[in-house]
Amino acid sequence: MRSSLLTYAFSVAGIVLAQESSLNSELGFCGSPLIGSTFWNPICAGDRQGLTVVAGSGDFQENIHRAANKPAEVVLSADGILAGSPWSHKPRCLRFENATEKYCLYTSPTFAQDRGVTLFTTPEHKDLFLQLPAFTNPDVTQDANREPNPPYESRQLPGRGVGLIANRTLHRGDHIFSTTPVFVLHGDIYETFADEDRFPFQTDGINRLPDGAKKKFLDLCGHFGTDKVDDIINTNSFAVDLFGEEDDETNYNVVMPEISRLNHDCRPNAHYHFDPLTLTQHVHALRTIMPGEELTISYLDPAQTREERLKALRASWGFACSCSLCTQPTAQAKASDERIKYTLDLIEELEDYSADSLATPQMAEAVISMYEQERLYGPIAEVYKLAAVEFNGVGEIWPAVKYAKLAIEAGILYGGPYDKDVKDMEQLVKEPQMHWSHLLRMEKRMERNMQQE
């Protein structure tokens, strides 16, 4: 029964795909194309010999602990999914014959207060997911759709699709909404499996979702004109790092349909960060926003020249940038580009901790000033940190503490409270003399001078 149901659902999705892909390519840019700052096109595996699909790998039989505040019927299905398992379907896995690594679909219909999520990941990582507060304590996840009194309303905007308009004054740091992913994909899947093996699995992953989440996902737009589900993933997913220590995390792609309601601006008034423990994306105001203003985020690294931004937006999301910065008169656009190029050179100097670097605290302050002129109110967290490190590096503790505090305030908005730069700056404020940067510049330069004598 289950398998024929799945086959049916799958073929329905196949028909929808055929109809809508032509529609999408006619429209070109539809609604709010989405995020993926470090997004890349899928890489196809060259060799797909020995590929096996492992149905019901047995993982579902594990009795997994979770906060069981849901009636057992939700996790028990007529198909014999055991009580205690959070999954609504038998996990279905994809792997190469004899390979140890396999990637499976795990769908939890109760995740985030019954919104649901599908994980496409290894059995080992599935266990790590189940230990996250996002799964052990359903109350920690927040859902924008349940917000009783949101500070915005959704409106159809001429030439921009649907957008969110602030309906009260928001101040820097104010919370706008939070949302959880409906699809979470291990980054290695792209390199491991060929499109023809991966696509049906991804589609199955969406078909397994509760109806509401499935509809939200399928309502998103793609623009590459390929497999419908894959296209939506490529156009709308965010790259996030999960599990493991610094620089050793696994890259995941997560799709959060609600974020797509925010349109792009190169100088946005809002920013988002992803909390890896609650698997929740939080959106906050970056500056004062007046009622009637559209809420915007940047789909890309905003510290790029106009030409680079236009190119990236067209390639990844298929639309021509029409934000105020992209449509500035030539003289202003040129000045902005020059400012950005100049700051990037200076940042390179500031990030060079060798004795040859020409970095000074005043150089860092010049970069801060240029970021303010550029209205880069999110990424400014990074240059506040550079200034704190420069001042501490020459032993000027109080300006170092001042900029570290500014870096923390901006960093919590930009990278979230768990961001490693935020943690680093908290250490500096606590004990400037014990921080790694203390007197670093002076010592490096003295060493060099001694060697030269």
Ligand X SMILES: *[C@@H]1O[C@H](CO)[C@@H](O)[C@H](O)[C@H]1NC(C)=O
Residue 150 beta carbon to ligand X: minimum distance, rounded to whole angstroms: 5
The dihedral region occupied by 44, where left means phi > 0, alpha psi between -120 and 50, and beta the remainder, is beta
Rule CB under 6 A: say whether 420 interacts with ligand X: no
The Cα–Cα gap between 131 and 75 comes to 18
Q: Which residue is nearest to ligand X (CB)?
A: 50
Of 105, 85, 108, which Cα lies nearest the Cα of 93? Answer: 105
Please identify, among the stretches 102-110, 148-156, 390-398, 443-451, the one whose residues bind ligand X according to the rule CB under 6 A. 148-156
Residue 39 or residue 152: which is nearer to ligand X going by CB?
Answer: 152
- 161/187 with CB nearer ligand X: 161
Where does this chain touch ligand X (CB under 6 A) — which range of 149-157, 314-322, 328-336, 419-427?
Answer: 149-157
**Dihedral angle sign, alpha carbons of residues 169, 172, 173, 179:** positive
Site residues for ligand X, 52-91, by CB under 6 A, read none
CB of 146 to ligand X, least distance (A): 12
Q: Which of 97, 245, 248, 453 binds ligand X (CB under 6 A)?
A: 97
Phi, psi of 444 (to 5 degrees): -60, -40
Rounded to whole angstroms, how far apart are CA atoms 428 and 136? 34
Asked if residue 101 binds ligand X (CB under 6 A), the reply is no
Task: Give the strands of the sheet with 117-121, arranged side by side.
Answer: 51-55, 92-96, 103-108, 117-121, 183-186, 250-255, 238-242
**Quick one: which of 4, 19, 100, 149 contacts ligand X (CB under 6 A)?**
149
Instruction: Write down the least CB distance from residue 147 to ligand X, Å.
Output: 8
Q: Is 155 in the site for ligand X (CB under 6 A)?
A: no
Q: Among the candidate windows 131-139, 145-153, 173-181, 225-233, which touches ligand X by CB under 6 A? A: 145-153
CB of 145 to ligand X, least distance (A): 11
Q: Which of residues 363-402 bind ligand X (CB under 6 A)?
A: none
Instruction: Name the minimum Å distance from CB 98 to ligand X.
Output: 4
- The gap between the terminal CA atoms of the chain, to the nearest Å, is 84
Using the rule CB under 6 A, which residue among 31, 56, 123, 150 binds ligand X?
A: 150
Residue nearer to ligand X on the CB measure, 99 or 442:
99
146 binds ligand X, rule: CB under 6 A: no
Interaction of residue 167 with ligand X, rule CB under 6 A: yes
Q: Which residue stretch of 126-134, 146-154, 394-402, 442-450 sits at the interface with ligand X (rule: CB under 6 A)? A: 146-154
Kindly tell me which of 284 and 435 has the beta carbon lying closer to ligand X.
Answer: 284
- Burial class for 285, CB neighbours closer than 10 Å (0-12, 13-18, 19+): buried
Tell me the closest approach of the beta carbon of residue 148 to ligand X, in angstroms. 7
Identify whether the C-beta of residue 64 lies closer than 8 Å to the C-beta of residue 128: no
Q: Does 162 contact ligand X by CB under 6 A?
A: no
User: Is residue 4 involved in binding ligand X (CB under 6 A)?
Assistant: no
Kindly tell me which residue out of 4, 19, 63, 98 binds ligand X, with binding defined by CB under 6 A. 98
CB proximity list for 262: less than 8 A, separation 6 or greater? 32, 163, 164, 270, 283, 295, 296, 297
C-alpha to C-alpha distance for 387 and 396, rounded to whole angstroms: 11
The one-letter amino acid code at 400 reads A
Any long-range contacts for 336-344 (C-beta under 8 Å, 24+ apart)? Answer: 336/306, 336/374, 337/305, 337/306, 337/307, 339/370, 339/373, 339/374, 340/303, 340/304, 340/305, 340/374, 341/305, 342/370, 343/303, 343/367, 343/370, 343/371, 343/374, 343/383, 344/303
Per CB under 6 A, 168 contacts ligand X: yes
Size of the site for ligand X (CB under 6 A): 9
Question: Does 51 engage in binding with ligand X (CB under 6 A)?
Answer: no
Cβ distance to ligand X smaller for residue 143 or 308: 143
Taking the least distance from each CB to ligand X, the nearer of 97 and 246 is 97
Binding-site member from 124, 153, 338, 443 for ligand X (CB under 6 A): 153
Q: Which of 14, 28, 50, 212 binds ligand X (CB under 6 A)?
A: 50
Nearer to ligand X, 47 or 431 (CB): 47
| Token couple for 92 | 């279905």
Q: Does 28 bind ligand X (CB under 6 A)?
A: no
Residues at the site binding ligand X, with contacts judged by CB under 6 A: 50, 97-98, 149-150, 152-153, 167-168
